[in-house]
Structure 1
């Protein structure tokens, strides 16, 4: 079935995980257009595929956005608190209620302890949507247990991945640790630095690359204070010479080469709520051993999988896990072989097909003749 998709989301040139996710999904679903959510000051550069821009400072911008989305067969709405106008982003609900076509809402955050406003809003979003997708089973379980929602509407479709797997790219003599993604408080890099300081006795000691620009919202409110604090901490710990900061934006080819050069992907995130991590999925699919704090998505993918879990904010545990992988080749080989989660089902074409299957059911139901009593 040919379906024309309308997408509502942040989108490139905005650089955030949600924009990257939406761009990949839109590219693999094919025919359609994007209604881009843009904060005041976002790069206004026109992007192919964007048919309308909803600037968050535009009064009642939801109305025009809903009208544009209703020209497609299905509206795919990315939901994250804080990207839409209104309290907790409540104006997305106005869009959903005004649509004249079926809607599929992708939930990127499901909080265990939401405020009353956040809980009520998410329940109303699910009620207004025709279908809802969570990216992990943990998010679905949390949604069904903690919120009053219709379970029949909810499907689990994994986060898609690029194809970064392949032979290792060039590596130096030192073991290479890597963290990538937008930088900001909560990323936990300070714990990784403290862990790295506990590995100086290794011969040779590992080098740690932190790749990614500072998150635009962090820049807006705090400038580069977090990045500066990391530089200061590295110097104080005596490991600055073993840490590389790559702050330029990397395209897929450059990022793939960087990922394949890593011996271990380190995800020292502070959040205990994170049910979706695109970086984690990409790391697993690339078959690189992962050391991650026990946030929900990591617990789901790494338990008996290709990585080790450690407690939050615990540099000693981080260092111990990294040391085990670097000094025990058999363990590293075992972790690389635990690639059950990295099967083709995680690649974007397969993930997009799952979205298409849900959308096709919605379109079919939308066009099904309504039975008239007595006929």
Structure 2
């Protein structure tokens, strides 16, 4: 069995990529396979080393990609989580020289594929695809967007769904009043304000619903704007007369607690403003838990919920949001039909199954891509507007 080096943010950092990487690494090494985490940290992160961390790449230091690459080169295969902004440099451009320095095959997992990238963003992602051994997207929407909108070889792209936890077996804890739930890191774009406005439109129901907003403020939002967004939600709730019905849980729940919270919900509400989101871990966790979902029409929701276990509504439309939630809470049999539509559950494998697909992809790469010496870093300055240094290239690549 090959050994795996994982490059990503990682616990104790609290974000979607860290949670994803932790679950994937744990599943791929559960049988004793050797693995190690190269953890990417921002200034201000909790610097305590999480389980399995073999090296820390601090984005505050120069050229940290060299040492990070050296650490990954002690493993047979590198699995790299990619999202614009996680790595140093404009749009995280320092990931490119790292990929080119790897001596073994790499799998790059794309968490974001922009529909309208800037020229530099497009160029950077195309070069990442070229440097990687294989690319993984977690939805067909992301794969199609990548192949149509970027110059990439289709045969290099594999769809492996986001893994999900075992929430279905968690006992259902029904509450006396209908329970609406939104969770995840909080900040502008989360769309909670639209849910509050929808909640105000549901006050005619008997009993009236309650609404839980679970999650801490996103670290980057907190760093630049403090708690302005959260304070604005409290103020809006008071103005709408629904503050008494909203429970803000400013915590990052562990998995057992989160599972119980999800299973207590009658409706999971995902009112996101984004029209770009091709992967949502929150969405698939809700679907896998068998809870009906009402979501705005971001790409992953359209792909997963259309004809499936939820309802899709227009963005920034509290009336449509309220109507959809109200239907699930009052229309006889609708909630049961949505929760009982099993095809999405089959399409969203549990983590061990997902890990097996990554392992199979890694073994194919090893079989067809013998280890080679470290490649020179060659950048096209005309394409990305960067200068190269003498010897090893000093990279500054396209923004994302």
Deviations 1:297-325 (A, max 9, x none): 00010011000000000000000000000
Aligned to 2:2: 3
Aligned to 2:81: 78
Farther off after superposition, 140-149 or 327-336: 327-336
Greater length-normalized contact order (CA 8 Å, ≥ 6 residues apart):
2
Does residue 1:13 correspond to 2:12, yes or no?
yes
Tell me, in whole angstroms, the C-alpha distance in 1 between the residues paired with 2:37 and 2:229: 33
Aligned to 1:107: 110
Give the deviation of 1:42 after TM superposition: 0.7
Aligned to 1:149: 152
Q: How does 1:21-170 map onto structure 2 within 5 Å? A: 21-30=20-29, 31-166=34-169, 168-170=171-173
- Aligned 8 A contact 2:284 2:348 in 1: no
* Cα RMSD after superposing both structures: 1.2
Aligned to 1:278: 281
Give the deviation of 1:345 after TM superposition: 5.1
Tell me, in whole angstroms, the C-alpha distance in 1 between the residues paired with 2:38 and 2:169: 35
- Aligned 8 A contact 2:137 2:143 in 1: yes
Tell me, in whole angstroms, the C-alpha distance in 1 between the residues paired with 2:243 and 2:169: 30
Give the deviation of 1:133 after TM superposition: 0.3
- Aligned 8 A contact 1:285 1:339 in 2: no
Q: How does 1:310-321 map onto structure 2 within 5 Å? A: 310-321=313-324
Tell me, in whole angstroms, the C-alpha distance in 2 between the residues paired with 1:65 and 1:276: 26
- Corresponding residue SS for 1:155: strand
- Corresponding residue SS for 2:279: coil
- Aligned 8 A contact 1:63 1:95 in 2: yes
Query: Gapped runs of 5+ residues in structure 2?
Result: 373-400
Aligned to 2:256: 253
Tell me, in whole angstroms, the C-alpha distance in 2 between the residues paired with 1:97 and 1:8: 14
- Corresponding residue SS for 1:329: coil
Aligned to 1:287: 290
Give the deviation of 1:170 after TM superposition: 2.5
Aligned to 1:373: none
- Corresponding residue SS for 1:320: helix
Aligned to 2:267: 264
Give the deviation of 1:57 after TM superposition: 1.3
- Aligned 8 A contact 1:73 1:102 in 2: yes
Tell me, in whole angstroms, the C-alpha distance in 1 between the residues paired with 2:72 and 2:175: 50
- Corresponding residue SS for 2:84: coil
Tell me, in whole angstroms, the C-alpha distance in 2 between the residues paired with 1:86 and 1:368: 28
Q: How many residues align?
A: 368
Does residue 1:174 correspond to 2:177, yes or no?
yes
Q: How does 1:295-334 map onto structure 2 within 5 Å? A: 295-334=298-337
Tell me, in whole angstroms, the C-alpha distance in 1 between the residues paired with 2:73 and 2:155: 24
- Corresponding residue SS for 1:119: helix
Aligned to 2:205: 202
Tell me, in whole angstroms, the C-alpha distance in 2 between the residues paired with 1:70 and 1:348: 25
Tell me, in whole angstroms, the C-alpha distance in 1 between the residues paired with 2:75 and 2:296: 41
Aligned to 2:339: 336
- Residue 356 of structure 1 is aligned with which of 352, 355, 359? 359
Aligned to 2:224: 221
In structure 2, relative to structure 1, the CA distance for the partners of 1:110 and 1:199 (3 Å cut) is same
Aligned to 2:379: none
Query: Gapped runs of 5+ residues in structure 1?
Result: 370-375
- Corresponding residue SS for 1:291: strand
TM-score (normalizing by structure 1) = 0.96
Tell me, in whole angstroms, the C-alpha distance in 2 between the residues paired with 1:48 and 1:262: 32
Give the deviation of 1:235 after TM superposition: 0.2
Tell me, in whole angstroms, the C-alpha distance in 1 between the residues paired with 2:170 and 2:135: 37
